């Protein structure tokens, strides 16, 4: 039974990443008619309403300490991450953002090592990190000097990956509380939407609803709201509860491959050899970092000090 549950967790993470790898394309297309904050707000309104229909019950936390976990998760995983990601897409290619955000497992591993029991770092992590950073540097140089893109977009993507790492760690903590998956995800969406409101009111938002009459705009928003937000956040959070924050984040490795191929085929973005080499080094660095045993080989840098992160969870938890 435990093996089947773990297999289901891996499948959920894979399907989630497959869909999320396409979100950069939809967002890039929507940026023609919508601002970054508008896309974010409408996307999560659709997602929140969907989850409300699926699970209308309220998740009542036991104390403010538990509620604070949801507040921070909403700020990091919904508002900050996607706002940074959407703004980054206005300065650089979707393929660049997809590759750079894939380094989030590094930051997840570091944060988890210091804040979660059983999540540890080992020597291969450091080696892989250096290789991946070289790859990221090539991608940024390619965009800045060859394609005349603003490196600010790549920098924002890096910050976004750090924010997502924080979200993954907080969702791991939330998964241990034992609350319903859909209800907890909706609660995170609620706080994320609250944090969006100030930006929505202060930034350049027109609220021109005629834009929704465009079939491509409406279809992309529905894809982002239903599939990428409502469905994928539930499946991702559920996978984190089963596999752990670090192991689930490993599936982010697939994002660059999905995004680069889709960007080339759909957006006709120019993929140069420098970008390909940079993406390849990033992926190699990620795989070297984790090794065949997820977090590398034993060594003197870091020692295993906790239990395995495949913690059993309550039936109603993630």
Predicted pLDDT of residue 279: 77
Is pLDDT of 218 > 90?
yes
The answer to whether the beta carbons of residues 34 and 86 sit under 8 Å apart is: no
Residue 148: which residues within 8 A CB-CB, separation 6 or more? none
Q: Write the CB contacts of 297 (distance below 8 Å, at least 6 apart in sequence).
A: 122, 123, 124, 291
Quote the tokens at residue 310: 């495949």
Please tell me the distance from the alpha carbon of residue 236 to that of residue 238, in angstroms, as a whole number. Answer: 5
Which of 95, 123, 88 is CA-nearest to residue 256?
Answer: 95
Structure tokens at 227: 């599939």
pLDDT top residue among 235 and 202? 235
Q: How confident is the model at residue 61 (pLDDT cuts 50, 70, 90)?
A: very high
CB 193 within 8 A of CB 52: no
Phi-psi region of 109 (alpha: psi -120 to 50; beta: other; left: phi over 0): alpha
- CA–CA distance, 67 with 293 (Å, rounded to integer): 34
Query: How many CB atoms are closer than 10 A to CB 261?
Result: 14
pLDDT value of residue 247: 76
- The per-residue DSSP string of 231-284 comes to IHHHHHHHHHHHH-HHHHHGGGGHHHHHHHHHIIIII-----HHHHHHHHHHHH
Interatomic CA distance for residues 40 and 33, integer angstroms: 13
**Which pLDDT belongs to residue 207?**
66
- Separation of alpha carbons 267 and 277, rounded Å: 20
Query: Half-sphere exposure of 180 toward its Cβ, with a 13 Å CA cutoff?
Result: 13
Q: Using one digit for the tens of pLDDT, what is the confidence trace for 244-283?
A: 877 787 777 777 777 777 777 887 777 777 778 877 887 7
The whole-number pLDDT of residue 123 equals 75
List of residues 6+ apart from 95 with CB closer than 8 A: 24, 256, 259, 260, 263, 264, 269, 271, 275, 279
Domain ranges for the chain, please list them. Answer: 2-120+149-257
Q: What is the DSSP letter of 62?
A: S
């Amino acid at each position: 039974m435990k093996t089947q549950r773990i297999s289901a967790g891996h499948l959920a993470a894979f399907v989630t990443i497959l869909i999320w790898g396409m979100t950069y394309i939809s967002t890039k297309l929507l940026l023609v008619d919508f601002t970054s904050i508008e896309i974010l707000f409408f996307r999560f309104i659709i997602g929140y309403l969907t989850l409300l229909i699926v699970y209308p019950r309220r998740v009542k936390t036991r104390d403010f300490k538990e509620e604070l976990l949801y507040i921070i998760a909403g700020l990091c995983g919904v508002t900050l991450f996607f706002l940074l990601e959407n703004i980054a897409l206005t300065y650089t290619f979707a393929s660049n953002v997809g590759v750079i955000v894939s380094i989030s497992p590094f930051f997840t591993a570091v944060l988890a090592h210091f804040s979660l029991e059983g999540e540890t770092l080992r020597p291969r992590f450091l080696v892989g990190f250096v290789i991946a950073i070289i790859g990221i540097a090539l991608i940024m140089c390619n965009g800045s000097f060859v394609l005349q893109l603003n490196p600010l977009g790549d920098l924002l993507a890096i910050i976004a990956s750090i924010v997502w790492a924080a979200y993954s760690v907080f969702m791991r903590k939330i998964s241990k509380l034992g609350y319903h998956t859909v209800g907890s995800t909706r609660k995170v969406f609620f706080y994320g939407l609250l944090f969006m409101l100030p930006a929505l009111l202060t930034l350049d938002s027109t609220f021109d609803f005629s834009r929704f009459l465009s079939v491509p705009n409406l279809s992309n928003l529905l894809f982002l709201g239903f599939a990428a937000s409502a469905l994928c956040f539930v499946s991702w959070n559920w996978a984190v509860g089963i596999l752990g924050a670090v192991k689930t984040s490993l599936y982010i490795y697939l994002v660059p491959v999905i995004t680069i191929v889709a960007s080339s085929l759909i957006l006709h973005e120019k993929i140069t050899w420098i970008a390909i080499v940079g993406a390849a080094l990033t992926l190699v660095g990620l795989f070297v970092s984790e090794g065949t045993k997820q977090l590398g080989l034993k060594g003197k840098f870091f020692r295993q000090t906790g239990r395995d992160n495949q913690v059993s969870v309550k039936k109603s938890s993630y």
